[in-house]
Chains A and B, each alone.
Chain A
Amino acid sequence: MTDFKKIEENLKKEAKRLLEAGEVAVVLAYAKGFDEKHPMPFAAKCVEDADHLVFNEYCTYNMARYLVRYPKGTKIAIAVKAADSRAVIQLIQEEKVKREDLILLGIPVKGMKNGKTGEEIDSKTTCGMYNPILHDILLGEEIHGQKITSPYDVLAEYEAMDQDARWTFWKNELDKCIRCYACRKACPMCYCDPCFIDQLKPKWADKAPQSPGNMMYHLTRFHHLAGRCIDCGECSRACPVDIPLYLFHKKVAKECEEMFNQAAGMRIEDKPVLVDFRVEDSDKILE
């Protein structure tokens, strides 16, 4: 089990050191919310702020979400768990942030919990990795020797459904959507300004929280995140009506991985799969 207290101490120590030395302008991590189960994303800008930093098993938020809000060239230190580090790599690939502007405080962690349900978060809803792929400073012990389950195992049940059943399932789920756009707000990859759903010319979809508009919004969002979703599961945790968005994102990620042999956010040198091509791509992928 991960020693959360030790990580918190290390986090405070490193944040203070970096802010004091002026190496970074801001440290993106977590602070205490209204109770232990609801920590909040927090940007520490001075040494005093660093005292407020916390880390516990409910600090699930993907802080990579906040990177794109700072002007280019801002020096930022960011606390990253496994999926978060993949998000950072993906943002570097998309040239939204520069590697040299970032200091990654890696947090190897097992046993994060969903603040809403109290359940442990595992490969069912996320990528299921424990160690950050990329880090400058490690705040805890790397986790080895754990059984790795494929993040795509959970899909088998839905892939086995017949088409009409799957359609009914998704229609029922997406009809619940109240269009609060929390999924978009929580997603580290959703940084378009304006988002296609906010555009009026052309008006891509209805804005009313009803079936046709919901379907259009979500299908298009799944498409926009194809080959970019790093499977942190934040969208489904942020969702107030509990739509299992992670399922669809996992499915698209799985297909992309099979078709293009590249998973999102694993290597800085890669290009996102949909802004890239190979002449030797097979036409079979269209069948």
Chain B
Amino acid sequence: MSFEPKILGIACNWCTYTGADLAGTTRLQYPQNLRVVRVMCSSRINPSFIFRALQMGADGVLVGGCHPGDCHYNTGNLYARRRLAVTKKILEFAGMEPGRFRVEWISASEGNRFAEVVTEFTEQIKNLGPQTKMNIQE
């Protein structure tokens, strides 16, 4: 049986989640490996969520937010950008594969882009194989 990764998607309510909705309503195909959690803003994401997700058995984490400058709350994603950049560096220095964590800006009208990103990211995680470093769910 081929490896089917579990991917946690954390999507901002106003852009990426609506974008995912659009991808659904326009019947675009994308892999079903993504489990989406909706948050009100990308700056709602506590970096511990990402560490915890990896511990609880996620093979990859995809964070989606509005394009910088388009945030529903004006500046939320600008804070998130700095914060998540640090998260990425920490995971990398701890020895986690950097490809397992990705941040993408996807707006509400970019259903196509959402499907594309998910397909690409799932492919990437499949190539990396199961995440065993932080996983405590065995």
Contacts and interface: CB of A to CB of B under 8 A. Distances in A.
Is A bound to B? yes
Interface of A: 158-159, 163-171, 196, 204-205, 211-212, 215-216, 219-220, 222-223, 226-227, 248, 251-252, 255-256, 259-260, 273-279, 281, 283, 285-286
Contacts, number: 100
Interface of B: 47-48, 51-52, 55, 68-69, 75, 78-79, 81-97, 103, 105, 133-134, 136
The majority secondary structure among interface residues of chain A is helix
Contacts of A285: 81-82, 85
The majority secondary structure among interface residues of chain B is helix
Nearest to A219: B51
A130 to B, nearest CB: 28
Contacts of A216: 48, 51-52, 55
Contacts of B91: 219
Contacts of B97: 163
A170 B95 CA distance: 8
Contacts of B134: 212, 215
Contacts of A164: 95
List the 6 shortest-distance A-B pairs measured between CB atoms, nearest first.
A167-B95, A166-B95, A277-B78, A285-B85, A255-B89, A212-B136
A42 B30 CA distance: 63
11 contacts: A163-B96, A163-B97, A166-B95, A167-B96, A196-B48, A212-B134, A274-B83, A277-B75, A277-B79, A281-B78, A281-B82
A259 to B, nearest CB: 6
A215 B136 CA distance: 11
A285 B89 CA distance: 9
A78 B131 CA distance: 48
Given A168-B95, A248-B93, A283-B68, A260 B48 contact: no
Contacts of A165: 95
B55 A215 contact: yes
